[in-house]
Amino acid sequence: RPWNEISIDFIIGLLLYKNLIEDSDFNIILIIINWYSKMIRYITYNKIINSSEFIKLIWENIFLLFNIPNRIISD
């Protein structure tokens, strides 16, 4: 089943970039990879987030769209 197993990683410490689609600045990218189809979602934001903000980000961008995965891999 797609999005049953995902991998999560952060890219932090980037220079401040302009997101032309959302008209906002960002310097952090959250990368979520679906192991089944190798589809990748990039979520950009501009500050270090705490655990509750991270869960909200994952909930809105993955769980609501694709369901809750059985396995999440992160380093």
- Cβ atoms of 30 and 10 closer than 8 Å: yes
Q: List 41's β-bridge partners, or say none.
A: 32
Residue in 29, 36, 39 with CA at minimum distance from that of residue 9: 29
Q: Which residues pair with 5 in a beta bridge?
A: 71
Q: What is the pLDDT of residue 49?
A: 82
* pLDDT at position 59: 92
Between 16 and 63, where is the model more confident?
Answer: 63
> What pLDDT, in 10s, does the model give residues 17-73?
777 777 778 888 899 999 999 999 998 888 878 889 889 989 998 999 988 999 999
Please state the φ and ψ torsions of residue 5, each to the nearest 5 degrees: -130, 125
Residue among 59, 31, 33 nearest 45 (CA): 31
pLDDT number for residue 20 = 74
User: What is the pLDDT at residue 72?
Assistant: 92
Tokens of residue 70, six digits: 């059985």
